[in-house]
Every structure is written in structure tokens, then in C-alpha cells.
Amino acid sequence: MAASCKSLYRCCQQSVCHLVARKLSSSRSVSPPPLHRRILLFLTQRFYDLEMLLSWRGQLRRKGIMRKNAYYDFTQRLYGSDIAAAFYILSLKGGFRFVGQSDWFRADQRGKFNWDFLNHKDTPLEEVDMSYTVINYRGLDNLEGQQSLRTLALRGCPEVDDWFLARLHVFEDSLEELDISHCPRITTGGLAALRNLKGLRRLDLSSLPGISSPGLVVILLEEMLPQCQIIATGYDYSIKQHGGEEEVQR
Amino acid sequence: MSAWRRLHVKVRRAHGLFTSRRVTEQYTWMYGPSTLGQNLSTGKPLRNDFFKELEAQLAAMRKKAADALPGSSWSPFDINPNLPPERADIVIIGGGVMGWSIAYWLKQKERVREGVKVIVVERDLTYSQASTVLSAGGIRQQFSLPENIHLSLASADFMRNINEHLGVLNEDPVDLQFNQSGYLFLASEEVAHIMEENYSTQRQVGAKVTLLSPTQLKEKFPWINTDGVALASYGLENEGWFDPWSLLNAFRRKAMSMGVIQCCGEVTDFKYTVSMMTSPGGDPVVYKRINSVKVQMPKGLEYQMVECAIVVNAAGAFSGKLAEMLGISSNPKDTIAGTPVPVEPRKRYIYVVHCPDGPGLDTPFLIDYSGMYFRREGLGGNYITGASPKEADEPDTSNLEVDHQFFEDSVWPRLAYRVPAFEKLKVTSAWAGFYDYNTFDQNGIIGDHPVINNMYFATGFSGHGLQQSPAAGRAVAELILDGNFKTLDMRGLGFRRIMAQEPILERNIL
């Protein structure tokens, strides 16, 4: 019963969407944005105030990300760069492992973490997991001193882009494993910068939506990094089928 | 108009014929068949017509009156909608990436909405011959002048956050298609010491560059022939190449969304006032102040005089010619007013070659000490390459035709020598573009002219205008709106050095 209700509701919602879409008649052929977005669009085209508010919202969002990725200067001066890096990672809800230890320090879902890492002064980090965090180019400042970093996981980070990848050259001597799967802003232009990481042994590139021809890119990357194992799943390599569909459409 | 009137008369005549027949039937029993009665009777329906028309005409009049009220765009004269407005605060001549960048920064820095009225005048909106879109599109920090390194670093920072700057609400985000591959400069024995000095300047300013010995070079790029290379410098960060058209369009879209007016036309004349002053030495100095700019429409003889307070000369390769219109170079050479703007167009060829055995994804933007350069284009084994010719055999700049012999003679031998894989290649296409070459010292001119006190220059970048445009545009906007440079000190790149005949030369390894 509940399921049928839900489907009915979805049907109604869709039909409303279609109606509004027809009225606004946008020229783009891609799937239309949700209803509230389109109402906002309609209003911003008529009212400067709303445009202003929306741009403020965007600015606030960016400022928040910038604040989270700020340089931990104070911590660095008090405790040294290793503790500062550890603190930065934990406050972004990431996880890490010190050199010569087997257990990981991680922040939980609500951002709470164990402060015991303060006891490990001057111990560099060996593995860092920043998956699903808002780490960006600026935040790399905090990790720059980690010269023995071997594993870096950046799975599904919305702010990791090509410039971030270009800056990974700071770990060029030590980094062996890199996971950049599911990052929406990475494109082929950024992957070319991975050539500086000559010690890379394992690279995960699964499901990057910004890459246009993944098959070719993976081959070129394998050529560029011969001793690196490249994992690229989640792509549709079936070129033949795609061409067939196009023909049917014509 | 006359045709319409004729039609009207015809209709009336037809109408009259029709009614008169009906009326004659009615009135013949009273007056008999007389011509007079016929004439009289035709008057009545005509008057009816008049009142009917009156209603329609009144409605039209009301509409016209409503149109003529303030706030509507109607005007009694037939006006070409493409004409620029009669008055503006700042006219930017040249709608290349530099011009649009200045326009964007002017709007960005204004305190209130519509605080400054900015017009960008561009000759060719298809940009078919523009230097911006015909360039190779690279950005590097490997300069020797701190000013250039600063400009380039600031521009890279701008491009990193391009969507914060140039993103327009409810539009697609800007995609520069930036390729993060560093520049690789190769130096021979004679110029290796210059490269070392440049390297220390670059590190000092904050660019991430590393030096490589021939052995390290061979290890890092095994496909390079290192014969003759004594030292190489390789950019690790903030270097690469991008799509110039995307950057130009992003600037233009954002600036126009902020209220900059784009105008298609050519500036053919200036109206200026002249005032005489004497210098401390007692020599007379002629000061000029531009009052208005004559903008000629692309087709026909139509033109518009645009009254303005400030003119920005961002015409790239043709900015020298533009300055000549103000009589700058017609004066005797040794006076201040006689200092010409030392910018002239130079033609450079870019060849697209296909080479399946080429170096692939790890191709840097390689610049050889012989002047040859190449970079990757896309992923399909295409490369673009070129070389700077010797000063003596500069090609003719009257057209944009490509000299394929130049590739055979000067580019290919060097290319194949440096990278043996390029011995087998196919030229798939080629184009030529203009370079705004500064004959004085091959560096940009940012700042105001000493004797034309409301003309600002942003020109003469000699090939690195595209990569420095975001920061240079900001510098010019600061100079205009704030009166001096706020973020980057660009006084060294001003006009003063040309007057004093003190070139600040880039210490190149080429």
C-alpha cells in the first residue's frame, strides 16, 4: 500500500515538473533541474536581490570550505607539523595512521575523535584517508611536510580537482598508493600531472565522471606510469553498443 | 510610404464605387440620375470610415505615446541597435582576453551597481584573426623578471578559482580544459648559467620549479635526446596549457552579466584637446586629452562618437597603430611626446602534427634552446609545434597565410633532433596568428601614457598576454579606479622605461 502511494506521489510530482518545464521552456536538452531550482532561476532573472542572496549563499559555502582547509599555523607552532597535520585530518573527519603503528586514528560520524594522537609528537604519518571530506588545494598546506606519506585515499572528495593533483608532487618521493575514485571534478588534464609521482605503485581511478574517454586515458596512464597498477572500474567501455544506439536513434 | 498611400487611394476608390452603386439605387427616385447626388452620397460612408479609422489611429497613438514614455526603448528616429552609446566612462579598445579582463575587473571593483559605464570595442566578434584564440595557450612561471613571475602566479591562482571569479549564477561552470603539465626548458652550455640565475629568482618569488641535469632529464623523460643539453628546468605546479577561447568567453560572459557593453566596430579616430605646458627644463610639452572616440561600424559608413573619460588601449598587435592616430610618433623623436608605442604585429606559425609514436600523456610543454617548442594536443597522438624565426627573416604581417616551408626548414629538423620519435610525423593542419611584439624589450606595457593623460595601456606582452591577462587586467583596473597598484606592484612595467630608454629585458635562454 505504502509503495503504491509512493509511486503515485512520484507520478504526480513528475507531471507537475513536466508542466512547469514546459512553461519555462528552457532550450537545454539535458535533464531539467529540480523544481525549486527553476523557481529560483525564474526569480533571479527578475530580482537583483534574490540573485544577490544566492551569490552570498555560494560565497558563504566557499568561505566555510576555506575555513576548514585553513593553514593550522598555531597548532604547528605549538606541537609541530605532524600533530598539526593529524589534527587537520581529524577535524575534517578523516583518518590516518602513524609510521610504525598499526591502529588508525579516525573521527566518527559526528566528528568526535580520540585526542591520544597528541602523545605521538614528531611521528610522521604513513597512511592518510581523506575519503568523502572537503579537503581542497589549500588544505594540502597542512600535509606538505609529510615526507613519509605512502598511502593517500581521496575517494569521493567534492573539492579535489586538477590543481590538487598537480600539487601532489610534494609527495613525489614517498607516495605509493593513491585513490582518487569518485571525485567529480577531476578531468584528464589533471591526470597528466600524476607523472611527477614516480614512486606510485597503485592508482585507483574508478568512476570519475569528468573523464570523457576512459579507455584511452587508462592506456595512456599505463604507458606513462609503467610500474603502477591502475584500477579503473565503473566505466562503460562498450563502444560498439553505444554506436549502435546512436544509429537506432537516427 | 508612397506605395502605401497609393494602395489606400485604390481601396477608397473601390469602396466608393461599391457604395455609390447602392446609394444610387436608393436615391434615384428623389433626385433622378444625377452626378451631383452620386458625389454627395459617397461622402457619407467615407465619413463613417473616418471615424472607424480614427478609433484605430487613436489606439495606435496611445501605444506610441506609451512607448515614448521614459523607460521604454522607443525613439522617433531609426537607430542602428548595434551603435555604442553616446557616452561612457571607460572605453576599452580591443575585445581580446586582455580587454575583457580589464572590463571584468573594472566592474568587479566598482562600489555600486552601474558605478562605471564600460564599453568594449572589438573589430571582429568572430575573433577569426585575434591573437587570443590563435595562441598556443600556455601558462608558465619560468621567467626571469619578478614582475612577470608575479603576474603569472596571480593568473594561475585566478584560474584555479575561476568559478568563484567568473561563474555566472544559473549558467554552466567555466571549464578551461586546463592541462596540468609543466614547461620544460632546455639550456645549452652557453646559457646554463642564465637558467640557474632565473631558477633562483623563480624559487625566491614562489614558483615551484626544479632543475634537472641531463641524466635526471633522461631518467624522467626517456624519449628526449639530451645531446647538447647542459641543464633543464621543469615546472612542477601552476604550469600547463588551456583553451584560450574558454577563458575569453568566460571573461566576456561574466563582464556582460555585470553590465559591460560590447560593441562591434573599429576605432578610427579620436577627438582630443591639446594644451601646452613647459617642463622644468624649459622645453614645451604638448599634453593631449581624449574627449571622444570615433567608432566606425563594420559595414557601411555609420559611426558614433563616444564621449568618454578614460580610454584603455588593449588592441594587442595593433595598439601601436592606434596610438599613432593620436599623433604620438609624428613628433620629433627625442621629445617626450615623440616616444612611439613600440608594439607591432609579428606573425607566428603553429603546426599541428600527428605522430602516433610520440611521447604521449607525459609530454611537457617543451621549449628547446633553439627556439623550437611543442606540446601535446588532446589524447589522440596530436602535437602542436612551432618556432620563433630569426629577427632577420620575420614573415610578412599583412595576412595570416602559413609558410609550410618554414616547418620543413626550421621546425622539423630541431624537433626530430630533440625527440627522435618525431622523425615520422604528418602535418595535419597549421595556422598563423599575430603576436603583439614589443620591439623595445619584449615585455608588457601596463600603465598610462605620459602625455596623453587619459589613455591607459595594457599591451605589448609579446606572447604571454593570454597567460597574464587575469592579473594584468586587475592591475589596470586598480590603476584606473584606485589610482595606483594595490595587489601587485607593476610600476616597473610602466611607460616610464620607454621614455627613459631603459629596457627591462627578459633574460631568455633562447
Residues listed for chain A: 250
Q: Is residue A51 part of a domain?
A: no
For residue B356, which of B332, B386, B324, B378 has the smallest C-alpha distance? B378
Residue B231 CA to residue B179 CA, distance in Å, equals: 25
B362:A54 CB<8 A:
no
Distance from CA of B498 to the nearest CA of A (A): 38
The Cα of B217 is separated from the nearest Cα of chain A by a number of Å equal to 13
Identify the weakest region by mean pLDDT among A12-21, A77-86, A150-159, B168-177.
Answer: A12-21
Q: What is the CA radius of gyration of chain B?
A: 32
pLDDT at B194: 93
CA separation (Å) from B119 to B29, B81, B307? 77, 15, 11
Query: CA-CA distance, A214 to A200, in Å (whole number)?
Result: 20
Structure-block grid coordinates of residue B41:
452620397
A43 grid coordinates: 526569480
**Looking at the predicted structure, is the pLDDT value of residue A1 above 50?**
no
Residue A191 predicted with pLDDT over 90:
yes
Helix (H, G, I), strand (E, B) or coil at B459: strand
Q: How many CB pairs under 8 A join A and B?
A: 66
> Per the structure block, which three cell numbers stand in for B219?
631518467
* Residue pLDDT, tens place only, B271-309: 999 988 887 887 888 888 999 999 999 888 889 999 999
For domain B347-435, say whether CATH 3.40.50.280 is its number.
Answer: no
- With 70 as the cut, is the pLDDT of residue B423 above it? yes
Contacts of A58 in chain B (CB under 8 A): 169
Q: Of all helices (H) and strands (E), which one includes residue B474?
A: helix B465-481
From chain B, the residues in CB contact with A162 under 8 A are 178, 180
At B69 the pLDDT is 77
In a domain, residue A193? The reply is: yes
**What pLDDT is attached to residue B42?**
53
As for the ipTM of the complex, it is 0.81
Q: Quick one: residue B238, left, alpha or beta (phi over 0 = left, psi -120 to 50 = alpha)?
A: left
Residues B82 and B297 sit within 8 Å (Cβ to Cβ): yes
Q: Which of A59, A92, A70, A64 is nearest to A139 (CA)?
A: A70
Q: Which residues pair with A151 in a beta bridge?
A: A127, A177
Decide: A87 and A139 in contact? Cβ < 8 Å. no
Q: What is the pLDDT of residues B30-76, one digit of tens each?
A: 444 444 445 555 555 556 677 888 989 999 999 888 877 777 766 66
Q: Where in chain B is the domain with CATH 3.30.9.10?
A: 347-435
Superfamily in which the B80-178+238-342+439-509 domain is placed by CATH = FAD/NAD(P)-binding domain (3.50.50.60)
Q: What is the CATH number of the domain that holds A156?
A: 3.80.10.10
pLDDT at site A180: 95
Please compute the mean of the pLDDT values over residues B432-460 and round it to a whole number. Answer: 91
Show the domain range for A196: 65-240
Total number of domains in chain A: 1
Q: Which residue has the cell 521614459?
A: B70
pTM (predicted TM-score): 0.83
- What pLDDT score does A28 carry? 43
How many CA atoms are closer than 13 Å to the CA of B259, on its beta-carbon side? 16
Among residues B484, B443, B384, which one has the least CA distance to residue B137? B384
- Look up residue A103 and give its three cell numbers: 591502529
Do B367 and B185 form a contact (C-beta atoms < 8 A)? yes
In this complex, do A137 and B160 lie within 8 Å of one another by their Cβ atoms? yes
Q: Is residue A89 part of a domain?
A: yes
pLDDT at A131 over 90: yes
Q: Is A191 in contact with B170 (Cβ distance < 8 A)?
A: no
Query: Pairing relation of β-strands B266-278 and A177-179?
Result: unpaired
Cα B313 to Cα A201, B96, B316, B322, B480, distances in angstroms: 53, 11, 8, 8, 13
At residue B46, the 3 state secondary structure works out as helix
Distance CA B93, CA B326 (A): 14
Write the residue in B169, B177, B208 that is nearest to A189 by C-beta: B177
